[in-house]
Amino acid sequence: MDLLHKALAREPLSAKELSKLYDYDIFTLGEAAQNIRAQLYDTKVFFNNNRHINPSNICADVCKFCAFSASRKNPNPYSMSIDEILTLAQQAYNNGAKEIHIVSSHNPNYTYEWYFELFREIKKALPQVHLKALTAAEVDYIDRISNKGYKQVLEDMVKAGVDSMPGGGAEIFDEGVREYICKGKVSSQRWLEIHTYWHSLGKMSNATMLFGHIEQREHRIDHMLRLRDAQSESERVANKQGGFNAFIPLLYQRENNFLNVKTFPSGQEILKTMSIARILLHNIPHIKAYWATLGLNLALVAQEFGADDMDGTIQLESIQSAAGAKSKSGLSKEELVSQIKDAGFRAIERDSLYNELAEC
């Protein structure tokens, strides 16, 4: 049996062996991924009506890839108050958003209580909105400033009304690359433990992978395999479907940061990464082509290479655009729907847990 068929048959292969999947031509990989995607979702492309809010860019950590954090490269620090965030959330809701996605920096001026008051206030004002908040990196940071332990932080998030967790902070799990690109940030093992514990509380989350910087192909595969194992563990602990809803390969944006990467992955390399993710991550239901980093066109093409989701309307993207992402920072629902349909797909509005709301 050749490598692709072994991978499709879920044979236990190492990251090094599986990295040779990239040697297949893009059409062979794309067809294999598309067969899986078509069986699961036919020609549906999922999106949601959401609003990203990034409360602050003042950060105690110094990730080399980050252009969002206020630093020498981005000398415009800001911190929103709870009232300001509530106003944005309310406006977003009035504009149709069904999900508020909150990802922030590691701001030493925000206290433990601040976060939970924020979540309670959002839920009080907008009980019908899905609150997706705090990456595992933020949970780890809040644990470090409060000494509560990450399990307590997660339990308090549930009590304060957080519905699910975004997938950020995963970056690349390989410890060598991680040490170089984001020394001091949540360890790979802790990132996975945080999500597994969150799943054991009956909650769902996503998982990202930052790629296209200094990592090698083998590191991407290693990242996916660690997530696949964590999802199996989550299935075992929760005794049901695993807690990761979606895998999101985030394409590295290279401006205004300290990584100094000169090369950029080709379109083929990006699409192969999407296809390989669909082939290997049989236990993670959705592969998200995040249009804010890929650009709308490539995100749509990715739907023919294994991805089935585009993310959402976003309304205001700040993290990737700070690093040079050229895509718009938000899209109207009408525009997103018409782009999906023009590309030959069925546009399915979903909620944050991938329940289908309507075909648009």
- Any contact of residue 129 with ligand V47 (CB under 6 A)? no
248 is a contact residue toward ligand V47 (CB under 6 A): yes
Q: Are strands 356-359 and 346-350 parallel, antiparallel or unpaired?
A: antiparallel
One-character DSSP codes across 305-337: TT--EEEE--S---HHHHTT--S-S---HHHHH
Q: Which residues of 100-119 are buried (b: 16+ CB within 10 A; e: fewer)?
A: bbbbbbbbeebebeebbebb
Q: Residues near 73 by Cβ (< 8 Å), separated by ≥ 6?
A: 67, 256, 257, 258
> Contact with ligand V47 (CB under 6 A): which of 21, 126, 225, 250?
250
Binding segment (CB under 6 A) for ligand V47, from list 8-16, 39-47, 62-70, 229-237: 62-70
Q: Which amino acid is at 274?
A: M
**59 among the known binding-site residues?**
yes
Element (H, E) at 48: strand 44-48
Stretch touching ligand V47 by CB under 6 A, among 28-36, 172-180, 248-256, 326-334: 248-256
Q: By CB under 6 A, tell whether 171 contacts ligand V47.
A: yes
171 labeled binding residue: yes
Query: Which amino acid belongs to residue 95?
Result: N
Q: By Cβ distance, which residue is nearest to ligand V47?
A: 168
Per-residue interface string for the shown chain with ligand V47, residues 66-85, x marking contact by CB under 6 A = xx------------------
Question: Is 311 an interacting residue with respect to ligand V47 (CB under 6 A)?
Answer: yes
CA distance 223 to 207: 10
Tokens for 26, please give them. 């893009």
Of 34-42, 77-85, 90-98, 316-324: span binding ligand V47 (CB under 6 A)? 316-324
Residue 305 assigned as binding residue? no
Q: Does 57 bind ligand V47 (CB under 6 A)?
A: no
**Residues placed in the known binding site for [4Fe-4S] cluster:** 59, 63, 66
Which residues of this protein are in contact with ligand V47, per CB under 6 A?
Answer: 65-67, 103, 135, 166-169, 171, 206, 208, 210, 248, 250, 252-253, 257, 290, 293, 311, 319-320, 323
